[in-house]
Chain A
Amino acid sequence: MKIENEDALDHLIICHQCHTLHEEIPIEDGTKACCVECRSVLYRYDSRLIDHGFALSLTTLIFFAVANFFPLVQIEMLGNEQFITIPMTFFSLFENGFYVVGMLCAVVLFLFPLAIFVLYVMLFLMLKLKKGEDLSRRLLVWLSYMKPWSMNDIFLISILVALVKLIGYAQIHMGVAFWALAVFVLLDIYMTKHIHLKEIWMLRKQIFAEKQ
C-alpha cells in the first residue's frame, strides 16, 4: 500500500473491537458505518456534531449536579428516618476509616464523571469558537484516559440491589437525585454510543485545517 504522507492514514480505521483494518468512506448525514467482521460501529457522520455535542454535554452536566445535590433515597426503619446523597456514600466510608475504597468511589462516581462532562462542554465550546488547537488536543487525551473510570451506570444498578436487600426491613422512598442519576446514566450511554472521541478528533482536524 502506498500513501502520500502520514496524514493520509486518517482515512484508515482499525476496528476497536476486532482490530480489522478498514478504509473510511463518506457516509450520509445521520448514518453510521459498521465493521464488516464484528458489526460494531466504526464511525458516524453528524453535520451538526458541535451543536448536538454541546447541548447534550451541558444537559448531562445539569442532571449530574441535581443527582449529587439532592437525596438519593430515603428510608424509614424502626421509627428512624434516614436519607443519603451520592457524596454521602463515599464520605461515610472515609468516616469509618475506609480511605482506599472511599477514594476509589469518590473518583469513579464523582470526580471523573464531573471532569469528563466539564471537559466535553469546554471542548465543544472551543471547537465552536475555533480556538485552542493545542488545549483541545490535551482535553481529548485526558478524556480518553478518564472515560473507562466512570462508573455511574454500575452505581445505579448497585442502588437497586441495595434497596431490594432492604425490602421487608424498611420503607423506601426514591429521591429526586435517583431519577436525575437515571437520566444522567441514560444520557451518558447515549453520548458514548453516538459521539465517539474519534469523530471529535476528525472534526478538530477539519476545523483547524480550515483556519490555516
Chain B
Amino acid sequence: MIEVDEKNLIRCPVCEAVNIDKDKENRCRRCGSPIYKYRRFKTEKSWAYLITAIIAYIPANLYPMLVSTQFGKTEESTIVGGIILMWESGSYPIAAVIFFASILVPIMKFLVLVYLLISVKYPLGKDKKVNKHKLYYMTETIGPWSMIDVFVVAILAALIHMHNVQIIAGTAATAFALSVFFTLLAAQVFDESLIKENR
C-alpha cells in the first residue's frame, strides 16, 4: 500500500499517464520519458525559445513576404502590406484569414506564454478564475495555424514561375517560419506542472 496525496499526481507530458511526483528523479512509469527534467532551470528554456521567436517576428514583419515580378516589374509586399492589398481589392475573407493567422495568432501566443511564464514565478492571476491549463491548451491548438501564410507563399512560388510572371518567397518567410517554430518549441518545453505549484 502506498499513501498518495492527490496534489502530488502529475501527468506525463508524453504519454499522459498519471505519475507520482518524485521531484528530482521523475521518469514516467509507463513510457520511460523523463518528466520535467529541466525543473532545475524551471522556465529559462521556455523563455529563451520565446524571446528568439519574438525577435524573429520583427524581421518577419519588416521584410517582404512575397516578391512578384510581372513583365519585368518587381513588386514586394510585407505581411501587413499583403493584408491591406487583399482588403482594398475586396477579398475580405482572405484578408481576415491572413490577419488571423499571421498577426493575431502569433501575438496572442506571445502574450499568453509571457503571461504563463510570469504567473508561475509570481502570484499573478491567482485569485482570478482563469484556467491556465485551458489557456495553454488553446494556444497549443491554434498555434500551428499561423503557418498559413508561409504555406500560401510556398504554393504560389511553386505554381507561378512563368516567362513573364513570377512569384518567389521573400526574406520574411524564413523569419516567420523560424518565429513559428520557436513559439511551438517554447510552448512544448513549458513545464505545465509549474502552473499547479503556483495556483
Contact = CB atoms under 8 A, between A and B. Distances in A.
What size tier do the contact residues of chain B reach? Answer: 35 or more
B188 A148 contact: yes
B18 A82 contact: no
B140 A148 contact: yes
| Interface-centre pick from B97, B133, B155 (highest chain A CB count, 10 A) | B155
Contact of A78 (B20, B145, B165): B165
Contacts of B94: 161, 164-165
A9 B29 contact: yes
Interface in B135-178: 137, 140, 144-145, 147-148, 150-152, 154-165, 168-169, 173-174, 177-178
Contacts of B169: 93, 96, 98, 101
B110 interface: no
6 contacts: A4-B2, A21-B18, A78-B162, A78-B164, A92-B158, A161-B152
Interface of A: 1-7, 9-10, 12-14, 16-19, 21, 38, 73, 75, 77-78, 80, 82, 84, 88-93, 96, 98, 100-101, 104-105, 108-109, 137, 140-141, 144-145, 148-149, 151, 154-155, 157-159, 161-162, 164-166, 197-198, 201, 205
Given A4-B1, A149-B184, 16 more contacts: A2-B4, A17-B133, A19-B195, A78-B164, A82-B159, A84-B155, A91-B158, A96-B169, A100-B174, A101-B174, A104-B150, A140-B15, A162-B151, A162-B156, A165-B156, A201-B15
